[in-house]
């Protein structure tokens, strides 16, 4: 595990984004832990978050990319934070995001920011992907804008549970769209880093949850 991953796990805990208890996911699953990226709420937190994504992108996408894309709505602040983090390192990265509804005046269209061009390699920046629904909605929007190729998808946490099959949503999306999919951290890395800081009850409930919903393969 990289140092930036350890720092990111501690950061999620300190920000209250990663919590343990009794929760219900959007899909209706009862889960013993929850990752709520909507709780990031300050400029300093977004700066740290953007750097963590940038670290993971540098480590996971050596093939590079031309433009970052953030799916509305949570992906919008994320993609801005990541581009800013790269700028701090002396690399000027362009980004864009989509509107939920097409604009019929002004510049029009659904893409805001960098105009996509044929041949662009687009890296999608998302928060957490459980079933992959938002990405399946996003890819047609990108392909309708230009003849782009998908450089990949980066999310903050891989919950390592089944998507629509017995594989993780990230693995399904990788095959479906022929693109690499990565996360800053996954559940195994979270559990490894927390060690004894995670109570035995929480750990047992996570084990039981994974037996019920865990993916057969990554």
Domains in the chain, please, with CATH?
Answer: 3-213 (3.40.50.2020)
Q: Which one from 2, 103, 115, 193 is the annotated catalytic residue?
A: 103
Asked about 105 being catalytic, the answer comes back as: yes
Q: Which one from 2, 26, 105, 115 is the annotated catalytic residue?
A: 105
pLDDT per residue as tens digits for the range 128-169: 887 778 899 999 999 999 999 999 999 999 999 888 888 998
Residue-by-residue DSSP string for 151-217: EEEEEEEE--BBSSSSBBHHHHHHHHHT--EEEEEEHHHHHHHHGGGS-HHHHHHHHHHHHHHB-SB
Cβ burial, residue 10 (10 Å; 0-12/13-18/19+): middle
pLDDT per residue as tens digits for the range 165-211: 889 989 999 999 999 999 999 999 999 999 999 999 999 999 999 99
Cβ pair 49, 78 in contact under 8 A:
yes
pLDDT per residue as tens digits for the range 38-58: 999 999 999 999 999 999 999
Round the average pLDDT of the chain to a whole number and report it.
Answer: 92
Among the ranges 34-38, 107-111, 132-136, which has the highest mean pLDDT value? Answer: 34-38
Kindly tell me if the per-residue pLDDT of 84 is higher than 60.
yes
Total-model pTM? 0.92
Asked about 26 being catalytic, the answer comes back as: no
Strand partners, 33: 20
């Amino acid at each position: 595990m990289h140092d930036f991953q350890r720092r990111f796990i501690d950061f999620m805990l300190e920000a209250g984004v990663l919590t343990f208890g009794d929760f219900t996911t959007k899909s209706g699953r009862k889960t013993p832990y929850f990752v709520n990226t909507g709780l990031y709420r300050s400029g300093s937190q977004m700066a740290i978050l953007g750097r963590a994504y940038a670290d993971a992108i540098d480590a996971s996408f050596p093939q590079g990319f031309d433009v970052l894309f953030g799916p509305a709505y949570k992906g919008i602040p994320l993609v801005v934070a990541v581009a800013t983090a790269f700028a701090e390192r002396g690399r000027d990265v362009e980004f864009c995001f989509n509107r939920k509804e097409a604009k019929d005046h002004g510049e029009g269209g659904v893409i805001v920011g960098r105009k996509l061009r044929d041949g662009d390699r687009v890296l999608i920046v998302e928060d957490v992907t459980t079933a992959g629904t938002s990405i399946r909605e996003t890819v047609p929007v990108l392909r309708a804008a230009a003849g782009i190729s998908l450089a990949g998808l980066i999310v903050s946490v891989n919950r390592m549970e089944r998507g629509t099959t017995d594989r993780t949503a990230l693995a399904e999306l990788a095959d479906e769209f022929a693109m690499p999919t990565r996360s800053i951290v996954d559940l195994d890395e979270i559990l490894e880093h927390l060690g004894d800081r995670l109570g035995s009850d929480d750990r047992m409930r996570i084990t039981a949850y994974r037996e019920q919903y865990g993916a057969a393969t990554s």
